[in-house]
A and B are shown apart, each in its own frame.
Chain A
């Protein structure tokens, strides 16, 4: 216990030091009185097209390499090496942008706002990891995503969470995804990027609060492996769903599972499914009845979620900058003591009428009314399907990675005692393997 406390204290100390090293303080330019001509302000050039394509190329090569390391070479070393590369290149050099996690929002914005021209490279960053996941499982999460990689390398003392707790916390990414899509589709904000806990560490320029958030995630990540990936990442929701139907997913054993139990505690993410025992089966009638009831109430849950969301739509809309501006203008008009914000002053200086602002804000709130119905319905659907899913007991005879939640980190492979030499090639992948039961 005392070791853990010492570890935490040291970690906090280092984090504070790192944080204070990061922000760059600014102050006004010198007030030269004579002679000095202030150089004109120059906007930095956008990242060149070539560099953007290079990023896509590096992503493709990295994903190919890590998939090869994991599926073919079964190498944890390889996955770790790729994690380090990802932290350096996609993290510090590229400063975490564009990242596949945030690209979800660009896609949503492009779908709902024809005026937004989405760059092809952003589409590539969104699609390529999904395609690789469809073929090889979540190898992107294993060591290419810079957000996952930085958490992965510090998971030194992972604790095993109760599986039901993991299941419940697993709902959060769906909620986060729903909110992120709503705010992106309404051109309100890219909340995934704004509240990305690690981007500030990669860029050395985040606000103090965001550094603290990132540091907290890293601190928690020492004991609860990859907390952001497992319980927050909205892109992980899509990868999870796609990975469930992946063509060739990594396996724990290179040959056949002998149920030696050695791998049982090897996964820091709790992503290994144990064999089910026949005697633990639930009464079939009860399970079927519950499933039928849940199936019937699913539409009700969607409707109820939609209704609750619609009641909450003003709160959701109040985040939109235009709505905030209209609210401020209304308050400002009612109370002459208030000082206007810079935004309001700018709006007025543009010569736009107050009426236009109010009309636009009212229109945005109507948009949010529809959006909140959809968001609420989506959340109701997620809850309904999750509850229904908990009534279905899958029969398993071996220790298998959970295809949805397995991050393909290759840790479990080291624990399998089955020699690789014996594996026949055709049995390499789970998709080809016929189950053999050992008793």
Chain B
């Protein structure tokens, strides 16, 4: 082929356009350089993840009352964000300038191109052979068609998974599972004690409703046991009778047995039938123990191990929290335990693992400590971690997430309580900045009251339509659950670790410095106040008309549950303890140091 090349001649009138295209090109190039430099600078600086800022925040966490430091953080944060947004603005404006520059270059080149004096081009190439064109086109079209068909068939063959059948079968299984669930309950129901009413059991103090659709135990059966932290529903009430009031640890009086727990932990014991369960952990091991209630022997140990997603290294925790602070819970057929690295396990009564999973490493500077609680077939997990706080309901059957609700709160160390508030069930959580209630069936937020601050440790308490929540450096609030109005609040006696206890018309507030006070639940009037020698980390439990409150040195303060202070007894264990005791079948189970005590005959 021979082709006469175009001879391009630039005329005088084009010279300005050539100059413009050069200027615009250079301008665009400079903008490019600046944009890239700016972009690299932005990549380096993250306004919310700066070492200086994080260090200041850590300092503020240690000293939350430092207003000057708070102001410094705000100023630093503001300056940092302003710098970032200025950079963003520069990049955006730069982008527009670059676009304009390129547009000018293109338009100039087009104008130059259109104005070029072109020499005529005459190709002496032979006209295209249409037969050859058609032949080639047919060949490649057929080849392309065959390739497409082959690729489609291979892809279909390789990925053939009978999806439609699988979905149809899965739909059938879902239906079967629901029906089977109802049958299982019907069969099991015969073995359970008769409920106190037809379908809904309302106790004057318990506030738990039982839905007969699922296979969980009846309320009557739950009341016979001590299935979670602070008892049934985690509300600080135990329904046991004949609990001892006298013992002496050093003298071994009325101590049925004591057991050395192999690993460390601050979780409290729970009791179901003739078994006691407790967790403990080290940096490398996380264990759940089942102990015979009568003999005090470990029946089996279940380990949280080989769990996919479990972090290889345990998180840093403070000494008074550790990796086994959350108390396990049980529904009478399985025990559910969570550990400080996010591992959660479900084990049957014989120690056989049913399911396990990792919820993600908790981002928590002391260590995760929120305990578990059951509602029907749902395992309620309060997972208030830094920047990813959420409340979850895991299926008791397989650990799958039934619902998960994001929460805009700071880290919380408190535990959820599950109560019946008159016409519905509610999960109530206390954290910074609010006390909130959630529907246990779907996780929907029912209400919230912004009244809390700081590092919230105490859980909420509920009685007769009023929720009580508190925290050190914040206040004690009494919230009407129907109106969500704060009935009263007080900030004289506050706690940062033990939870309040509410019953009848009063609320008991223990403190870490040893003072215990009792308020009138409705008015907030101080009914009594008493200063003990030692402070409290353990939460009070009301049992059999008495309040059991274990101080940090192991002395159980047994107080009459009334509007007048009356100390019933002060039995000593002789061992320091920060854990909340469990009560069952005339016995008390106390974790103290590395020992588990069973008190009673």
Which residues of A are in contact with B by a Cβ distance under 8 Å? 13-14, 16-18, 20-22, 24-25, 27-28, 30, 33, 76-77, 80, 84, 153-154, 156, 162-165, 167-168, 171, 175, 204, 260-262, 264-265, 274-277, 280, 282, 304, 308-309, 311-312, 314-315, 317-318, 323, 326-327, 329-330, 332-333, 336-337, 339-340, 345, 348-349, 351, 353-355, 358-359, 361-362, 365-366, 369, 379, 383, 386-387, 390-391, 393
Contact = CB atoms under 8 A, between A and B. Distances in A.
Contacts of B131: 280, 282
23 contacts: A17-B32, A17-B36, A17-B98, A21-B91, A164-B132, A164-B133, A165-B140, A168-B141, A168-B144, A265-B121, A274-B127, A282-B134, A308-B153, A333-B398, A336-B357, A345-B401, A349-B403, A349-B442, A354-B170, A362-B167, A366-B164, A379-B148, A393-B134
Contact of A275 (B127, B163, B167): B127
B188 interface: no
Contacts of A76: 114
- Which of B107, B134, B142, B168 is packed against the most chain A CB atoms within 10 Å? B134
Contacts of B360: 339
A401 to B, nearest CB: 16
A14 B102 CA distance: 9
B168 A336 contact: no
Given A336-B400, A365-B163, A390 B156 contact: no
B105 to A, nearest CB: 9
Contact of B403 (A16, A20, A167, A348): A348
B52 interface: no
Interface stretch (B41-49, B212-220, B297-305, B502-510): B41-49
B8 interface: no
The winner among A337, A386, A393 for most chain B CB atoms within 10 A is: A337
B68 interface: no
B516 to A, nearest CB: 31
Given A171-B144, A308-B152, A387-B138, A349 B443 contact: yes
Given A153-B106, A282-B131, A167 B141 contact: yes
Contacts of B387: 28
A309 B152 contact: yes
A345 B137 contact: no
B166 A330 contact: yes
A362 B81 CA distance: 49
A164 B136 contact: yes
B114 A24 contact: no
B348 to A, nearest CB: 15
A379 B146 CA distance: 12
B136 A21 contact: no
B31 interface: yes
B174 A332 contact: no
B401 A365 contact: no
Interface in B82-141: 88, 91-92, 94-95, 98-99, 102, 106-107, 109-110, 113-114, 120-123, 127-134, 136-138, 140-141
Interface string B401-423: 11111000000000000000000
Contact of A354 (B29, B36, B144, B174): B174
A366 to B, nearest CB: 7
Contacts of B107: 84, 153
A28 B403 contact: no
A265 B118 CA distance: 13
A261 B123 contact: yes
A14 B32 contact: yes
Contacts of B358: 337
Contacts of A20: 35-36, 39, 91
A80 B35 contact: no
Given A21-B92, A171-B141, A390 B167 contact: no
Contacts of B11: none
Contacts of A168: 137, 140-141, 144
A361 B400 CA distance: 21
A18 B42 CA distance: 16
Contacts of A332: 400
Interface in B425-477: 433, 441-444, 453
Nearest to B159: A315
Contacts of B355: 336
B164 A365 contact: yes
Given A84-B107, A348-B402, A314 B156 contact: yes
Contacts of B153: 308, 311-312
A358 B46 CA distance: 43
Contacts of A25: 42, 88
Given A25-B42, A337-B307, A17 B401 contact: no
B160 interface: yes
Contacts of A351: 441-442
B149 A308 contact: yes
Contacts of A383: 141, 145
B174 A167 contact: no
Nearest to A84: B107
B308 interface: yes
B28 interface: yes
A314 B163 contact: yes
Contacts of B122: 260-262
Given A164-B136, A164-B137, A383-B141, A13 B401 contact: no
Given A14-B102, A17-B31, A330 B170 contact: yes
Contacts of A309: 152
Contact of A154 (B106, B129, B168): B106
B155 A312 contact: yes
A214 to B, nearest CB: 13
